[in-house]
């Protein structure tokens, strides 16, 4: 019997022959496995990657709106025990150098200025399933991402209430979830103190004008615009301002990339000569109007559209190519939802001639970085921002 892995390898091998040619590393593993759709509470059916811990991905059709609906937003957990937090009993404990304070949800809402930011929440491993050769981990396709309007209070306003000592190095975040076995390391993350104090880092209670859904971190989660979602700790229970690098598993062993390879903010207190924590998202784009393999009616006006995003520098341009990357033309950018949100793009496609159309799309950030035509392999399969090529056919 052919193993699933061999079958996928075989399939992606044959698909590779049909690719536009210039772009190395295309694999269609996650696209070829038929997705199983399962609905969690408060959610519509999403693509199930694993059930325990819950890892559910947003189908492409639900990524077409400017703001991803709360009931379609992807769900990612590392630990199997995800308790439903009782908001009335919930307290956020914040520990500074000389002082500890606790807040209820009402205290936080009443005590601090309310702030809203539109921002992309994207898993570091989004598109991991498209790496070839295969990388271990949740085999995400394109949907471990969403854009939402996050509302809450600034983390720095809360931290300043307990006092940020001059020798503070990191701020450490713990949530209510836990492993089933005592030896499973608790999901605890830290941020450089400067990033924690950035005006855009929020303690968010709301998503798109509604209380956070349970599966997206109720009653409060961290929002770190521009940084990958691993730092966006859900069901926050405790925050500590600390004078030394936090040495937990999820900082020292996981969510790390080779040092000096990817662009983005540095995380100096956690940096080693070989690896460093993943930080900001890399520039990327996604066609949402069509999937590869779509057939288009000849002569019918067709618009190709989707989203582009980066670390918050802002999208400078999105281009498309119909000749395998030899020449590029600009698409039209959509309205600006804020520099941490995604930016729409669209282009009219000429369908007057029958036959195949291979269309590639690439985004460029205002910081000068551009999507890659050759992926940088890394052991955990992060930062997949390969230029996407769709194989369409006019019939």
Task: Give residues in contact with Mo ion (CB under 5 A).
Answer: 123-124, 229-230
Least distance CB 57 / ligand MTE (angstroms): 9
Q: Is 154 left (phi over 0), alpha (psi -120 to 50) or beta?
A: beta
Q: Which residue, judged by CB position, is nearest to ligand MTE in the bound state?
A: 175
**CA 272, CA 301: separation in Å to the nearest integer?**
53
Question: Are 27 and 18 spatial neighbours (Cβ–Cβ below 8 Å)?
Answer: no
Return the one option of ligand MTE, Mo ion, none that residue 78 interacts with (CB less than 5 to 8 A, by type). Answer: ligand MTE
| R_g of the chain, CA atoms, integer Å | 21
Least distance CB 238 / ligand MTE (angstroms): 11
Return the one option of ligand MTE, Mo ion, none that residue 74 interacts with (CB less than 5 to 8 A, by type). Answer: ligand MTE
16: three-class secondary structure by DSSP: helix
**CA 65, CA 146: separation in Å to the nearest integer?**
10
Q: Where are the alpha helices (DSSP H) in 99-241?
A: 105-111, 155-162, 193-196
Least distance CB 112 / ligand MTE (angstroms): 22
Question: Are 264 and 311 spatial neighbours (Cβ–Cβ below 8 Å)?
Answer: yes
Return the one option of Mo ion, ligand MTE, none that residue 75 interacts with (CB less than 5 to 8 A, by type). Answer: ligand MTE
Least distance CB 378 / Mo ion (angstroms): 14
Does 229 interact with ligand MTE (rule: CB under 6 A)? Answer: yes
**CA 186, CA 249: separation in Å to the nearest integer?**
8
The residue (of 32 and 65) whose beta carbon lies closer to ligand MTE is: 65
Least distance CB 178 / ligand MTE (angstroms): 9
Least distance CB 381 / Mo ion (angstroms): 11
308-367: contacts with ligand MTE (CB under 6 A)? none
Q: Which stretch binds ligand MTE (CB under 6 A): 133-141, 192-200, 226-234, 355-363?
A: 226-234
The residue (of 92 and 394) whose beta carbon lies closer to ligand MTE is: 92
Does 108 interact with ligand MTE (rule: CB under 6 A)? Answer: no
**CA 13, CA 127: separation in Å to the nearest integer?**
18
Does 198 interact with ligand MTE (rule: CB under 6 A)? Answer: no
Does 204 interact with ligand MTE (rule: CB under 6 A)? Answer: no
Least distance CB 82 / ligand MTE (angstroms): 8
The residue (of 246 and 255) whose beta carbon lies closer to Mo ion is: 255
Give the contacts of 202 (CB within 8 A, at least 6 positions apart).
115, 117, 150, 151, 152, 153, 154, 155, 222, 223
The residue (of 54 and 334) whose beta carbon lies closer to ligand MTE is: 54
Does 132 interact with ligand MTE (rule: CB under 6 A)? Answer: no
Does 216 interact with ligand MTE (rule: CB under 6 A)? Answer: yes
CA distances from 254 to 177, 248, 278 (A): 17, 9, 9
DSSP string, 320-343: EESSTTSS-EEPEE-----TTS-E
Does 76 interact with ligand MTE (rule: CB under 6 A)? Answer: yes
DSSP designation for 231: G
Among 12, 68, 70, 121, binds ligand MTE (CB under 6 A): 121
Does 78 interact with ligand MTE (rule: CB under 6 A)? Answer: yes
Does 128 interact with ligand MTE (rule: CB under 6 A)? Answer: no
Q: Which stretch binds ligand MTE (CB under 6 A): 69-77, 134-142, 239-247, 290-298?
A: 69-77
**CA 166, CA 157: separation in Å to the nearest integer?**
16
* Residue of 127, 195, 187, 378 whose CA lies nearest to 275: 378
Give residue for tokens 């001059």.
166
**CA 155, CA 117: separation in Å to the nearest integer?**
13
Least distance CB 250 / Mo ion (angstroms): 10
The residue (of 122 and 371) whose beta carbon lies closer to ligand MTE is: 122
**List of residues contacting ligand MTE (CB under 6 A):** 73-79, 121, 123, 175, 177, 187, 216-217, 229-230, 232-235
């Amino acid at each position: 019997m052919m193993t699933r892995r061999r079958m996928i390898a075989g399939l992606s091998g044959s698909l590779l022959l049909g690719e536009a040619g210039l772009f190395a590393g295309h694999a269609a593993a996650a696209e070829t496995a038929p997705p199983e759709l399962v609905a969690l509470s408060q959610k519509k059916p999403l693509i199930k990657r694993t059930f325990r811990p819950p890892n559910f991905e947003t189908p492409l059709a639900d990524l077409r709106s400017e703001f991803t609906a709360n009931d379609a937003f992807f769900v990612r957990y590392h630990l199997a025990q995800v308790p439903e937090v009782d908001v009335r009993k919930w307290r956020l404990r914040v520990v500074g150098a000389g002082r500890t304070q606790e807040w209820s949800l009402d205290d936080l809402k009443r005590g601090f200025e309310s702030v809203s930011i539109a921002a992309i929440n994207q898993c570091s491993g989004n598109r991991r399933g498209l790496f070839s050769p295969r990388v271990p981990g949740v085999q995400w396709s394109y949907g471990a991402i969403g854009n939402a309007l996050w509302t809450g209070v600034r983390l720095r306003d809360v931290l300043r209430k307990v006092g940020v000592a001059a020798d503070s190095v990191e701020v450490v975040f713990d949530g209510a979830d836990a492993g089933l076995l005592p030896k499973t390391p608790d999901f605890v993350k830290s941020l450089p103190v400067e990033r924690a104090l950035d005006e855009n880092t929020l303690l968010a209670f709301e998503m798109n004008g509604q209380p956070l859904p349970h599966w997206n971190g109720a009653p409060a989660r961290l929002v770190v615009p521009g940084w990958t979602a691993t730092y966006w700790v859900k069901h926050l229970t405790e925050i500590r301002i600390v004078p030394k690098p936090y040495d937990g598993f999820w900082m020292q062993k996981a969510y790390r990339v080779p040092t000096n390879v990817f662009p983005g903010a540095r995380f100096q207190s956690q940096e080693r000569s070989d690896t460093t924590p993943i930080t900001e998202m890399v520039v990327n784009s996604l066609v949402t109007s069509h999937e590869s393999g779509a057939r288009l009616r000849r002569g019918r006006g067709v618009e190709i559209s989707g989203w582009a995003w980066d670390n918050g520098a802002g999208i400078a341009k999105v281009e498309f190519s119909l000749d395998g990357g030899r020449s590029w033309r600009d698409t039209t950018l959509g309205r600006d939802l804020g520099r941490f949100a995604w930016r729409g793009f669209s282009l009219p496609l000429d369908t007057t001639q029958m036959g195949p159309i291979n269309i590639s799309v690439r985004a460029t950030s205002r910081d000068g970085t551009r999507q890659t035509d050759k992926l940088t392999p890394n052991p955990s399969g992060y930062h997949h921002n390969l230029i996407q090529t769709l194989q369409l056919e006019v019939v």
